[in-house]
């Protein structure tokens, strides 16, 4: 077998990979993805998988899906490639203030209840964005909770944000977005929580202000892990648009994997798109480092 990065450039050779993923390879790829991440791919997802794995063929300079599977299912691939495979397979669609009624529910229903039960001078409210993708959801939570704190003195909060994909987490930690992605955010909110790039040539980039970035702790977490090792109780969980990708009958469901007693204190705000509600909690690995690069202006 050709080893990754051998021979002529992948870009030049990739055009030869005309044959799609064989039925046998598709079956074993689906089984691996399911067992590693809980993501269920039906028969109709074969073209989608081919398109996404093509990026890996290119990166590894492999010529065909058969070669890729030989590498992936070999000893080295099982160690080094699975993370990349999960990165390309996961669907990371997200937005700031996506599905606004969930944030309205948090502010209008959950937090007022939470305040009546918990002494505002006590512990901070801990909200978890479970399956946070590139950070738009946890930063939206940060904006909403900061605004709530302005009108409710004494209210304090922290946000935990996790995802299985290190690629999306790296982007989330940077907190840098195209201005286009923030266009649904009212301008006065944008002025308070975003900075605009000063670098010539990149005027359309914005960055989340440091205060908001530091309110969110990002971690890698796989919902398929047996034990999430929650160190402290979580008060509300946003896991919308995540559970829909799981194959429930096989038990790959973060909501089921989490005992309610873990969060134990109060209501759950997170919901999947079809409105079922789940409680989840977090297993921590190392927090990702913050990176600073360019210079940023007030909006
Ligand atoms: C469609 S995005 C949802 C983002 C955000 N919650 C929202 O609603 O805008 C789903 C995210 O779940 C993550 N995910 C998928 N399987 C996962 C697993 N087994 N453990 C943790 N995160 C997972 C994906 O990497 C992806 O970023």
CATH of the domain at 65: 1.10.155.10
Q: How many CB atoms lie within 10 A of CB 126?
A: 21
Q: How many CB atoms lie within 10 A of CB 99?
A: 15
* Gap from CA of 115 to ligand 1 centroid (Å): 29
92 Cβ below 6 A of ligand 1? yes
Are the C-beta atoms of 66 and 25 separated by less than 8 Å? Answer: yes
- Secondary structure (3-state) at 153: coil
DSSP for 218-267, written as a single string: EEE--TTSS----SS--SEEE-TTTGGGB-GGGT--HHHHS-HHHH-SS-
**130 in the same domain as 24:** no
Ligand 1 closest atom vs CA 168 = 27
Number of domains in the chain: 2
Tell me which residue has its CA closest to atom 3 in ligand 1: 241
Dihedral-angle region of residue 241 (phi above 0 means left; psi in -120 to 50 means alpha; beta otherwise) = left
As annotated, the active-site residues are: 52, 163
Q: Could you report the per-residue pLDDT of 93-112, keeping only the tens digit for each?
A: 999 999 899 999 999 998 99
Query: What is the pLDDT at residue 86?
Result: 94
In-domain check, residue 2: no
141 Cβ below 6 A of ligand 1? no
64 Cβ below 6 A of ligand 1? no
**170 in the same domain as 44:** no
Substitution candidate for ligand 1 out of 39, 90, 137, 221 with most atoms within 8 A of CB = 90
In-domain check, residue 94: no
CA distance 140 to 147: 11
In this structure, of 4-13, 80-89, 90-99, 235-244, the range with the lowest mean pLDDT score is 4-13
What residue numbers bound the domain in which 197 lies? 100-298
253 Cβ below 6 A of ligand 1? no
Last residue of a domain, one of 33, 66, 89: 89
Query: What is the pLDDT at residue 233?
Result: 76
* Gap from CA of 164 to ligand 1 centroid (Å): 7
**116 in the same domain as 85:** no
CATH of the domain at 272: 3.40.50.150
Between strands 125-130 and 176-178, the pairing is: unpaired
**106 in the same domain as 79:** no
In this structure, of 48-52, 73-77, 113-117, 161-165, the range with the lowest mean pLDDT score is 113-117
């Amino acid at each position: 077998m050709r080893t990754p990065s051998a021979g002529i450039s992948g870009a030049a050779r990739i055009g030869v990979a005309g044959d799609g993923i064989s039925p046998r390879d598709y079956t074993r790829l689906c089984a691996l993805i399911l067992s590693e991440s809980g993501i269920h791919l039906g028969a109709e997802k074969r073209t989608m998988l081919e398109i996404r794995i093509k990026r890996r063929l290119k990166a590894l300079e492999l010529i065909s899906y058969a070669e890729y599977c030989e590498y992936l299912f070999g000893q080295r691939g099982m160690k080094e490639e699975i993370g990349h495979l999960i990165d390309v397979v996961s669907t990371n669609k997200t937005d700031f203030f996506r599905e606004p009624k969930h944030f309205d529910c948090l502010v209008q229903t959950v937090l007022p209840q939470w305040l009546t039960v918990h002494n505002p001078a006590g512990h901070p409210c801990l909200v978890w964005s479970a399956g946070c993708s590139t950070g738009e959801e946890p930063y939206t939570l940060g904006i909403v909770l900061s605004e709530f704190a302005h009108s409710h003195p004494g209210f304090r909060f922290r946000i935990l944000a996790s995802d299985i994909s290190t690629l999306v987490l790296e982007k989330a930690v940077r907190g840098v977005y195209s201005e286009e992605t923030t266009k649904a955010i009212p301008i006065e909110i944008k002025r308070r929580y975003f900075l605009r790039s000063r670098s010539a040539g990149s005027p359309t980039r914005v960055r989340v202000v440091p205060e908001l970035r530091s309110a969110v702790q990002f971690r890698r977490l796989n919902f398929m892990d047996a034990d999430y090792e929650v160190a402290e109780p979580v008060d509300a969980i946003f896991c919308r648009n995540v559970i829909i990708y799981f194959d429930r009958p096989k038990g790959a469901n973060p909501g089921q994997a989490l005992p309610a007693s873990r969060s134990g204190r109060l209501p759950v705000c997170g919901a999947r798109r079809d409105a079922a509600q789940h409680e989840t909690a977090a297993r921590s690995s190392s927090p990702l480092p913050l990176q600073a690069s360019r210079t940023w202006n007030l909006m």
